[in-house]
């Protein structure tokens, strides 16, 4: 081939890590059953099994729709950078949150995710059907960490246990060891691929919901490392760089039109594939503005198995990304991510969502793919232990409380 462009658009499966939990009174005593790679090795090999209903298809489309909404936000900043994120992990946090929401907050969440009950049914079925084997697996876990001073409603905990295999644990949020303990749990779930879910717990934060996703699979037809060589890669701005490019010739599913090519490469994980979409005329930044859920499904419907030795060149690459979704979610769901959402089904005290952070990593190699994502959503409980932390610029006034006359006033900016 002559000079060519290679662009990858990967939709990363999302992992929603969930394990069983008992009622709120038993948080501390319960035995936590976390799935690990070692446990999968001891289990019987299990292929992916999922029978979709019409309601399941709606939830799946909403998960993907959320992914494209996030992608548009990422692309809109104008800084073209490689990235990876997990629509399923982000959606699972929102889906679990629907079980704690009421009123306008629930309406906003369901506008994005779909019916709370349908989402619960979909995730229950999806998690139970995930594949397990020695070398190829999708690991899902979910943790709800709550400050030991505060209760969660039993009905909320029980629903997450039933639908998401969620674990709830009590922690002492004032203990500096708590951050390490939560991160240790997360590192076990992701096999160390992401080292830190949280770097701190803000003084006002009282609960943390964490989803982890870990996918590891060989290609059904691996590349030969002996054929990986540095080749030219033409960036969006026209600059040329040399990067390691994997190569093979084999029959494959693909499609092509005047605007783009697409290739779906099978993983050993039954029913799992990685889709590569390559613009032919437009730059990636211009093409990405056109890419949406409808086009994604059109590409999948247009794929055909080409029973010929197709020459395939794909970069060998690794990517890691960190995204703060809070402001994006607030624009999409203002009543759920505002200052006074109705989260009364989660806890008996007023609460709000404080942060939503996702960390993801992807590695595409000759033998296969490894992908990991961790989504963290933190909550502030407003009604039991108010705090005032002047950790940013503020105004001040000195006055008498009889006449309310101000003697002195000003502002403090840290200097």
Q: Helix, strand or coil for residue 363?
A: strand
DSSP class of residue 395 equals E
Q: Report pLDDT for 33.
A: 39
Secondary structure (3-state) at 190:
coil
Across 36-45, 84-93, 234-243, which has the greatest mean pLDDT?
A: 84-93
Place of tokens 């070398």: 135
* 74, two tokens: 């990422």
Look up the CATH number of the domain holding residue 113. 3.30.497.10
What's the pLDDT at 352? 94
Indicate the number of domains in the chain.
Answer: 1
Give the closest residue to 321 by CA, choosing from 63, 2, 1, 12: 12
For the segment 264-300, what is each residue's pLDDT rounded down to a tens digit? 989 998 888 899 999 988 888 888 888 899 999 999 9
pLDDT in tens, 310-344: 999 999 999 999 999 999 999 999 999 999 999 99
Decide: 171 and 28 in contact? Cβ < 8 Å.
Answer: no
Stated pTM of the model: 0.83
What is the C-alpha to C-alpha distance for residues 41 and 132, in angstroms, rounded to an integer? 8
Long-range contacts of 168-177 (CB under 8 A, 24+ apart): 168/21, 168/24, 168/27, 168/143, 168/144, 169/27, 169/28, 169/32, 169/143, 169/144, 169/145, 170/27, 170/28, 170/146, 171/145, 171/146, 171/147, 172/147, 172/148, 173/147, 173/148, 173/201, 173/205, 173/206
Per residue in 364-376, pLDDT tens?
999 999 999 999 9
Arithmetic mean of pLDDT, 44-49:
66
E strand segments, 172-204: none
CA distances 74 to 5, 68, 183, 334, 345, Å, are: 21, 10, 27, 19, 32
Output the pLDDT for position 131.
Answer: 82
Report residue 6's pLDDT band, with 50, 70 and 90 as the boundaries: very low
Task: State the SS3 of 239-282.
Answer: CEEEEEEEEEEEEEEEEECCCEEEEEEEECCCCCEEEEEEECCC
Q: What is the mean pLDDT of residues 158-166?
A: 93
Closest CA to 198 of 214, 212, 182, 185: 182
> Between 189 and 106, whose confidence is greater?
106
Structure confidence at residue 407 (pLDDT): 55
d(C-alpha 91, C-alpha 88), whole Å: 5
Share above pLDDT 70 across residues of the chain, in percent, rounded to a whole number: 83
How many of the other CB atoms lie within 10 Å of CB of 410? 10
> Is the pLDDT higher at 406 or at 278?
278
Give the bridge partners for 312, in sequence order.
248
The predicted structure's pLDDT at residue 409: 63
Flag whether pLDDT at 129 surpasses 90. Answer: no
Residues 6+ apart with CB under 8 A from 401: none
Range of the domain at 186: 1-415
Query: 379 pairs with which residues across the strands?
Result: 207, 353
Residue with tokens 């995204």: 323
**Rounded Cα–Cα distance for residues 139 and 46 (Å):** 13
The string of pLDDT tens digits covering residues 239-265 is: 889 999 999 999 999 999 999 999 898
pLDDT at 21: 29
The DSSP bridge pattern shows strands 205-218 and 368-381 to be antiparallel
């Amino acid at each position: 081939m002559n000079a060519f462009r290679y662009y990858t658009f990967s939709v990363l499966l999302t992992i929603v890590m969930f394990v069983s939990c008992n009622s709120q009174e038993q948080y501390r005593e319960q035995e936590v059953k976390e799935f690990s790679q070692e446990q999968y090795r001891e289990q019987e090999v299990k292929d992916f099994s999922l029978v979709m209903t019409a309601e399941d298809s709606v939830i799946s489309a909403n998960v993907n729709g959320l992914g494209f909404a996030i992608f548009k936000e990422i692309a809109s900043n104008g800084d073209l950078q490689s990235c990876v994120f997990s629509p399923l992990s982000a959606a699972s946090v929102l889906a679990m949150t629907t079980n704690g929401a009421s009123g306008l907050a629930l309406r906003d969440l369901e506008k994005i995710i779909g019916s709370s009950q349908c989402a619960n049914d979909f995730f229950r079925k999806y998690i139970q059907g995930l594949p397990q084997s020695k070398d190829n697996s999708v690991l899902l876990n979910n943790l709800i960490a709550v400050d030991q001073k505060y209760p969660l409603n039993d009905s909320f905990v029980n629903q997450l246990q039933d639908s998401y295999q969620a674990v709830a644990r009590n922690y002492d949020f004032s203990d500096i060891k708590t951050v390490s303990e939560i991160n240790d749990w997360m590192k076990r779930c992701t096999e160390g691929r992401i080292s830190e879910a949280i770097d701190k717990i803000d003084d006002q934060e009282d609960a943390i919901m964490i989803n982890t996703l870990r996918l590891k699979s060989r290609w059904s037809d691996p590349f030969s490392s002996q054929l990986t060589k540095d080749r030219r890669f033409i960036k969006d701005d026209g600059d040329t760089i040399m990067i390691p490019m994997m190569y093979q010739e084999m029959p494959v599913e693909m499609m092509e039109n005047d605007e783009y090519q697409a290739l779906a490469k099978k993983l050993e994980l039954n029913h799992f594939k990685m889709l590569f979409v390559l613009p032919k005329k437009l730059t990636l930044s211009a093409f990405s503005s056109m890419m949406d859920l409808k086009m994604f499904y059109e590409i999948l419907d247009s794929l055909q198995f080409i029973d010929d030795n197709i020459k395939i060149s794909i970069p060998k690459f690794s990517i890691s990304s960190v995204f703060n979704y809070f402001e994006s979610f607030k624009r999409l769901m203002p009543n759920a991510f505002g200052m006074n959402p109705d989260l009364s089904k989660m806890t008996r005290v007023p609460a709000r969502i404080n942060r939503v952070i996702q960390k993801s990593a992807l590695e595409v190699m000759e033998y296969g793919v490894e992908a990991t994502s961790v989504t963290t959503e933190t909550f502030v409980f407003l009604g039991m232990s108010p705090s005032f932390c002047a950790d940013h610029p503020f105004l001040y006034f000195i006055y008498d409380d009889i006449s309310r006359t101000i003697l002195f006033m000003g502002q403090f900016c840290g200097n």
